[in-house]
Each structure stands twice: as C-alpha cells, then as structure tokens.
Chain A
C-alpha cells in the first residue's frame, strides 16, 4: 500500500525542477551582466566608493594603484567574469560600507527577513481568506462592497505610509508596541518575547500590503465556485450553509489562489524593502536600501541577484503546486 506522499508524481516534478534550473542559469547570468553593464554606464566610480572620504585626500598614484588592485581598469566583460567565477566559489566580494564579506552580511540578515516575510504571509493568508469568503457570500452586498473598497484602497496606499501611521498610532499614541528595531535599546540580549513584540507591527503592515490581492482573488474564486455544479448539488442535498461554504466552495475556490502564492515573491520583496526600512528591521531588504544609499556596489549586486533567484524559485513553486492541484495542467512548463 503506497502512502499519499509516495503517490505524488515525483518524476515529472523533478524533471520540471531540472528544466527550470537550466533556464535559471541564463537568466541569472543575464541579470548579473545587466547589473555590471548598468554600473559601467553610470557615473559611479568603484575606486572612490571603496576609498570613501580617504579618497578625497589620497594621491593620484595611490588611487591608480587602488584602481589596479580592485581590477576596475579591466574591461566590463572581464570584471563581470571575475566576479562570477569568485561568486561560484562562494566569494561575493566585500561590502564597501559594512567592511565585511557580502556573504556574511547576507548570512546574518536573511533569517530575520524570512521570519518577517513568513509571518506576514501567514497573516495575509488567514485574514485574506476570511475577508474574501465573507465578501463572496453575497456579491454586491454591503459586506462585499466594504471589503472590496477596503482592498482597492489598501492596494493604492504605499506600505511605508501605512507603516508610519501604524508607528504613530500603536507606538506613540497607544504606547502598546515598539516602534522599530529587533530588541529594546536598553537590553543587550535577544529574547524570543522581545522579538515577538517587535515583530508585530512590521509583520502586520507587510501583511496589509499583501492583503488586497489575496482578498480579491479569494472573493473571485469562492464566488465563482458558489455558482458551480458541485456547490449547487450540495445545496440541493440540503447541506448546511456552513458546510457548503467552507467544505465545497472554499476548497475549490482556494486551490488556484494557493498555487499562485509562489508568484507573489516580487511583491513581497517590494513590500519588505519599504517595511524593513520604516521599522529598522535588521533584515536583508533594509541592507539593500542602505547599500543603495551608500552606493555599495558589491552588496547591491549580490542582493539583486539573490532577489532574482528568489523570484525564480517562487515561480517554480507556484507551477509545481499548480500542477499538483490541477492534474490537467501537468508539469510540462
């Protein structure tokens, strides 16, 4: 007797993953090259960025020596190739602002970003499903109109603005939650309780920025499912409204929505860039923004490539889930 786990179509799924990995290689190569090409076309000078304020007083000789040491005198393709070959070996260069290997910066911070994003996403799924189902029950009713209007408004509202207003309300006026950071400034140790209380506001704001899409899709999915034959059949059999709504309509309406989650990675990254900055969350998105402010090219380049890889991974996840959820789609993409 095979378990359900063993019955999954592992072969086709593995083949799809392999094909996508092959496709990801040229995409990532193109993105890294694009990053170098943009930098080469810009007025940005890595020597000045590396030398910082010392560069203002350094002699031309020293600057020229630095230029050779950094390999900036090489042509674009050569610099790109050097970066790429050391990146494959695990050396992403040194961050010019943090004076630390880029790989270490990423390693220290990525966990906090994943924690924030995962919490926010779970919250968005829970709240979004609830609101979407409530709205779908009576299309055009007052609840539906209220929920959809709220969703459109939240979609138009910039997450950083919501974040700032949340800080004003919850941290300043009500004084119930901390306004930012990971721990209280007075404390030197990191405790789970402190992290949890510092996580509430950023996670809620990030969840709110992801909510509209989710609410509108669940509303549409469940609304469509409510008109389908299985639901009408269930109603005709006299099942309770609750069973029909949650057991039949939600199940078939949610499936396509859940499979799309992986494709939301770009929006999640966009939201995290803004939310982490507002709340001084020590994650990777906040590091991206400070790297951009300080024109820290090695860090910025690595983070752009990392984000692209995350997007491709999300797309793969979405397609795998979709193939599992709807066997008609299969794993050919």
Chain B
C-alpha cells in the first residue's frame, strides 16, 4: 500500500491546461535527453570516464568541467552520465523483472481463484510486511557483490503492488460478457488468460513498470550508497554519492550535489509523463489520483 501511495503521489496536482501541457512537454524533453545521453554520449564522445588526472583533482564547476572534477580528477559530468547509464539499466531490468513476476502472480491468482488466490495473496501480504529496503539489504548482503544481486533484490521487493493491481484488473475483466462468451465457446483456461485477460491488463502493467523505474533507481542508489550495491569502481548514481563522501567532509560540495540531481530530475520527468499516461488510460479515477 505504501508503495502505491508513493507512486500515486508523484502524479498530478490541480492545474490548468497550459501548465499541464508544459509539465508533460518538459517531462518528455527531459526523458528524451536522458535516453539520448545514455545511449549516444558514451560511444560518441569516446572519452574514458575512468581517466584519472591528479593534476586537476577536485576542481569546482567551470567551463571546462561543468560539474567539476572528483578527488582523482575525473570529469563529473561524464561520470554522472555513465552513472545514470548504469543506474538506468539496473532500474529498467529490475522493473521489467518485477512487472513480469507481478503480472504472472496477479493474473494466476485472479484467474484461478479459490484457495490458490487466497494463499498467493496472503504471501503477498507477508512479503509487504517486510520494509522493502531492509529486505533488499538482506538479499544483497547474502549474495553480494555484483550487479545481479542488486537487480534481483530490487525486483523481488517491487512486484507486490503490480500483483495487486493486475489481480484487481483481471477480476474485473473476468466478469465481462466477452470472457463468458469465450468460456462458453469452449476456450481453454490458458487461452482465456492469454487471449482475453492479459491484453486487458497490459496497459496497467506497463504503467506500473514505467513508474517502477525511478523507484528501482532510488533503491539501487540507496543500496550502493550503503556500500552494499554496485562496486565502487562502477559509476552508478549511488556509488558516485558514496565515493564523494570524503570530498564532501573536506568541504567540496559538487561531487555530491550533481549525482543527486541526476536522480531527482529524471524521476520527476518520468513521473510527469506517467501521470499523463495514467489519466489517459483511466480518466474516471482522476480524483483519487490527485493524492
């Protein structure tokens, strides 16, 4: 429940048409810029983001280094772009895995019904009773180090709300006449699920997946910051903040500030776009979504 609150609250506010268009437009521009930066910059620029230059260490932001340099003279703008790349990759993979698990579990529970539904949903309740980050920390602590434990730990803690959403959606679809028609026409259970129920829940599941990406990035960065996520040499947004701690305590703010902004701005942009999409796929629920 907490999870859905988090998502819903990033949606929309009371606003008129033009501010809404502006919000959606700017969100789209930012998301496009992020995707472009992550896909195009590394091969195009062909610079070594690991290149150490001790002669230029801890330079404040300047024209040459817009974000400054870190404690071994690496350019922070480049490091942030590479960090965003790793974090985004981890976030997208974890969100896709979590959505697949959540959709499968939710659809299975709702389509089967009976004791399977009750047992599965009870398990979902049990899983939700453990705070996400704590369960993530536990999984990573047992399996570390590496990228995969982080992906798995984020995915395993985030499929619950998708399972609930998909289950509710399938339950409502199941009572529609066209499903009755398919069943009385002799369609098998698998065919009903795959042909008639799953296509109906895909928009909801897709929306949940998109909204999960910033959440997953947030989790990855928290795990990496705690020293339990990606190894320090692998620039992710969390490891960048983690390795900037020493410089920060010496008074240099820029190695900490910019990676954090790289988490916040894409998160807000993705939430802005997803909010518009959500209003489109279920306009009736708009009043609830104000929260």
Give A139-175 as 1s and 0s: 1 = Cβ < 8 Å from B's Cβ atoms: 1100011001001110111101100110110001100
Chain A's closest residue to B252 (CB) is: A168
Within B129-162, which residues are at the interface with A (CB < 8 Å)? 129-135, 137-143
Within B105-151, which residues are at the interface with A (CB < 8 Å)? 123, 125-126, 129-135, 137-143
Distance (whole angstroms) from the CB of A303 to the closest CB of chain B: 8
Distance (whole angstroms) from the CB of B120 to the closest CB of chain A: 13
A264 at the interface (CB under 8 A from B): yes
Distance (whole angstroms) from the CB of B19 to the closest CB of chain A: 8
Q: Which residues of B contact A264 (CB under 8 A)?
A: 2
Would you call B257 and A165 a contact (CB within 8 A)? yes
Within A295-310, which residues are at the interface with B (CB < 8 Å)? 295, 297, 300, 303-304, 307-308
Q: Which residues of A contact B143 (CB under 8 A)?
A: 42-44
Would you call A289 and B137 a contact (CB within 8 A)? yes
B251 at the interface (CB under 8 A from A): yes
Would you call B126 and A273 a contact (CB within 8 A)? no
Would you call A292 and B251 a contact (CB within 8 A)? no
Partner of A292, one of B13, B137, B264, B290: B137
A183 at the interface (CB under 8 A from B): no
A312 at the interface (CB under 8 A from B): yes
Would you call B10 and A156 a contact (CB within 8 A)? yes
Would you call A308 and B130 a contact (CB within 8 A)? yes
Would you call B129 and A308 a contact (CB within 8 A)? yes
Q: How many residues of B contact A (CB 8 A)?
A: 53
B218 at the interface (CB under 8 A from A): yes
Q: Which residues of B contact A158 (CB under 8 A)?
A: 218, 221-222, 225, 241, 260, 263
Would you call B126 and A31 a contact (CB within 8 A)? yes
Q: Which residues of B contact A312 (CB under 8 A)?
A: 129
Q: Which residues of B contact A153 (CB under 8 A)?
A: 264, 268
Q: Please, how many angstroms separate the alpha-carbon atoms of A164 and B130 in the complex?
A: 27
Distance (whole angstroms) from the CB of B276 to the closest CB of chain A: 14
A39 at the interface (CB under 8 A from B): yes
Would you call B264 and A156 a contact (CB within 8 A)? yes
B46 at the interface (CB under 8 A from A): no
Say whether, besides A156-B268, A161-B256, A264-B2, A44 and B142 are in contact (CB < 8 Å): yes
Partner of A38, one of B126, B132, B142: B142
Within A42-60, which residues are at the interface with B (CB < 8 Å)? 42-44
Residues of B within 8 A of A (CB): 1-2, 5-6, 9-10, 13-16, 123, 125-126, 129-135, 137-143, 214, 218, 221-222, 225-228, 241, 244-245, 248-249, 251, 253, 256-257, 259-260, 263-264, 267-268, 271, 290-291
Taking A39-B142, A270-B131 as given, write out 9 further A-B residue pairs in contact, using a Cβ cutoff of 8 Å, ordered by the A residue number: A27-B125, A27-B129, A42-B142, A160-B225, A212-B9, A273-B133, A289-B226, A304-B134, A304-B135
Q: List 12 A-B contacts (CB under 8 A).
A: A44-B143, A157-B260, A157-B263, A161-B260, A167-B248, A266-B2, A267-B2, A273-B226, A291-B141, A292-B226, A292-B228, A300-B138
The list of the 4 closest CB pairs from A to B, nearest first, reads A292-B141, A42-B142, A161-B260, A156-B267
